[in-house]
Structure 1
Amino acid sequence: MSIPFTRQALLLTMSLASFTTQAGDTTWQHPGIVEGNLPAWYPKLAQQLAPSDSWLNGHYAQFSTWRAHARQLVRDALLTPDSHRPFAPEVLSRQQRDGYHAEKVALNITDDSRIAALVLTPDTAGPHPAIVLLHDHGSKFDIGKEKMIRPWGDAAKEASAKAWAEKFFTGRFVGDELAKRGYKVIAIDAPGWGDRGPMTYEQQQALASNFFNFGRSLAGEMAYEDLRTVDFLASQPDVDKAHIGVLGFSMGGYRAWQLAALSDKVAATAVISWFGTWQGLMTPGNNVLRGQSAFYMLHPGLNAKLDIPDIAAIAAPAPMLIFSGGKDKLFPASAVDAAWEKMHRIWQSQGGESHLLTRRWPDLGHVFYQEQQVVAFDWLDRWLQPGKTSPGIK
């Protein structure tokens, strides 16, 4: 006996036929990622980058109240506990230079890590104004602190550092130039560089992931160690504690404005070649999308609360200089300009517009050349050595 071909059976058959013909058809699906390592819906995500806790939102009546709140947001995002061990510095080696001396000093940078720093000290009587120098990334890990201060006693590092200085700093070591101008200078290796490495480019993701697996953060570790470096300088009897500055290039520039946000001990900050808004940087083709180096700047969830200029502005109205190269492909002018506009609004709101210097160098790329150094060093002298005669800000 045959089974009647009912209407329900017909509909089921048609449905199955439709399913069969579309079985490999994925036009219904939004792709998970697009070229450039961005999620397919990144334009919507970029539009949502409207930081909830920015001073410019007008939710706070007192800047001091907002600053305390914003600083605590950043500090909490580091996922790094406070350290309490004494620094216990020990001089490992020393070299006399022209008008100043260089030392390699071991110190407890945290309760977990004892590291080596390079320190330059003028031969004149202190207390001296001081500068924390923060090195770049550059995907070059054999040297870190040696990118900023001329090393000695290791031929390979000396050659590597000299080549780096030729490429980015017109052949000059930034730390040594500042020591000649009367500053006590310090530089440490970020985790993975120099004496704390060298690691490979591919190891960055694994290192950062394993920090997270321990409930900690690679970016937070770097930021907290920078904070402790300022604290170490401030603990030294030959340092003028009221005149401690920070200068960083590239990733070091990021570290510089971040450090100024975290510490009231920073009296002036020079940021070279690392600034913008996250909305302007999170676009196809930008360098930050490569992922590996980004782990040193990744504080989960913080970007939804504070943008880059919001974090830097925690330091307002303290003096801050920010340089950008007109030919710097890593930081689009539109992203930099949008960030600078926010910065100027905030400094102006606190009566400190004259304390903020932003400048684009049209003919330069991602570098800190001698002509930029002259302006930046004169500017630092203005705030950290107020009694010193200087050629003036250009």
Structure 2
Amino acid sequence: MKPAIFATLLTSVLALSPQLSYADAANGPDYQTQAFDSAERTFPLFYEKLKERMPFSMGWEKNQLTPEQWRTQGLEKARELLLPYQDNTPFNPLVIDEVDRGSYVAQKVVFNISDESRVLALMLVPKGDGPFPAALFLHDHGSKFDIGKEKFVKTWNDEARLASSQAWADKFFSGKYPGDELAKRGYVVLSIDALGWGDRSVPEFATNSQQALASNLFNLGTSFAGIIALEDVRASEFLASQPKVDKTRVASIGFSMGAFRSWQLAALSDSITASIVDCWMGTMKGLMVPGNNQLKGQSAFSMLHPYIARYLDYPDIASLAAPKPMLVYAGGQDKLFPVDAVKSAFSTMHAVWKANNVEDKLQTKIWEDKGHTFTEDMQKESFDWLDKQFGL
């Protein structure tokens, strides 16, 4: 259409509609001149609108179901979105090295954690016939990738990793190896590397590879978080299958990202019968504040499941573990997890365990003087709690 004809037609329309102006015809003269929030430049300007559209449509507070019905439907949706596929590959384990640690034996064991991956794990086995209670230790993120399984269990014949893990233990665990501490109590302990840590890492993974790995896994039809979740389920099944393990007493234990993995696994795996969760809990919206690690493009991908916010919040997923016993710790000085977000999540969780008539099986605690840590006193208190749940 020629410009002159278009101008004539537009003038005619405006004449017939006196309320309409040239600016109105174009939805006003204003337009977006910046794309991100001014503080961190990680949120789009319209992120509050998007937050309002996070429905959590299957969350506990919105449901009209019995606890059993809610758990059944919620688990079906969680497994659909969190697990990329089902895997029943034979484990075919092989012990390749072991050392005597007095009351227990430390082993390096290789097994098929999935159809695609055969991995090296550290396993601690008490001496005697058993069966013994057991615990799967799930390591943190920490932006430290040279060690994974070694963060919880003391390694051997590897001086570089031993030095690295001891420094980690000194920083977060009061110089202790929590896996070894629990083995001294008579537990079979298994500690594995998540994809990207320890034997499954690469140089400079912290700065370059995490986001690229996550992008490529999306392209392959899965996710970084999904692979980790699937392998954690498989590791729990492997641990429960060990001849010296009492299948009715198998716990998941995690710190930081490992705590995320622990409550997630308690919900997803029938092999897990109790869980200890240290320093990772909050509502999704409550953690969505500038500067939070869950919003950063590197570390966050290991814990981000696409589309889960349409259906379930973090405390909802954790609550799918009810009526299993669960202990959840938070640090009052932990800058990664705002206390209000933690308290809101705890409130939802207690409501679910109460509805299941087992509120005494959920213990939550904010250590007011603690930051992001799992110190000796926290370990002792949580391990005493676990002994009690398992009748020890």
Same fold (TM over 0.5): yes
- Structure 1 window deviating more from structure 2 (78-87 vs 360-369): it is 78-87
Say whether residues 1:153 and 2:146 are aligned partners. no
Unaligned segments of structure 1, at least 5 residues:
1-6, 12-18, 20-25, 389-394
Q: 1:289 aligns with which of 280, 284, 295?
A: 295
CA contact (8 A) 1:247 1:269 kept: yes
Distance apart, 1:124 and its partner CA: 2.6
Cross-structure match for 1:196: 200
CA contact (8 A) 1:264 1:315 kept: no
The alignment yields a C-alpha RMSD, in angstroms, of 2.1
Q: TM-score, normalised by structure 2?
A: 0.90
Cross-structure match for 2:56: 51
3-state DSSP of counterpart to 2:320: helix
CA contact (8 A) 2:83 2:229 kept: no
Distance apart, 1:183 and its partner CA: 0.3
Distance apart, 1:49 and its partner CA: 2.8
CA contact (8 A) 1:49 1:278 kept: no
Dislocated runs of 4+, deviation >3 Å: none
Write the letter of the residue equivalent to 1:40: L
Instruction: Give runs of aligned pairs for residues 166-315 of structure 1, distance below 5 A.
Output: 166-199=170-203, 200-201=205-206, 202-315=208-321
Q: Residue 43 and residue 238 in structure 1: after superposition, are their counterparts in 2 closer, same or farther (change >3 A)?
A: same
Q: TM-score, normalised by structure 1?
A: 0.90
Distance apart, 1:75 and its partner CA: 1.3
Say whether residues 1:128 and 2:117 are aligned partners. no
CA contact (8 A) 2:67 2:352 kept: no
Instruction: Give runs of aligned pairs for residues 242-391 of structure 1, distance below 5 A.
Output: 242-384=248-390, 386=391, 388=392
CA displacement, residues 15-74 of structure 1 (integer Å, 9 cap, x when unaligned): xxxx9xxxxxx95216322243112112222233331001321332x3222212211211
Write the letter of the residue equivalent to 1:64: E
Give the Cα separation in 1 of the matches to 2:226 and 2:8.
Answer: 62
Say whether residues 1:28 and 2:34 are aligned partners. no
Give the Cα separation in 2 of the matches to 1:252 and 1:332.
Answer: 18
Say whether residues 1:111 and 2:115 are aligned partners. yes
Matched length: 369
Write the letter of the residue equivalent to 1:176: D
Give the Cα separation in 2 of the matches to 1:287 and 1:230.
Answer: 27
Write the letter of the residue equivalent to 1:31: Q
3-state DSSP of counterpart to 2:114: coil
CA contact (8 A) 2:293 2:299 kept: no
Unaligned segments of structure 2, at least 5 residues:
1-6, 12-21, 23-28
Write the letter of the residue equivalent to 2:368: P
CA contact (8 A) 1:319 1:356 kept: yes
Q: Percent identity?
A: 49
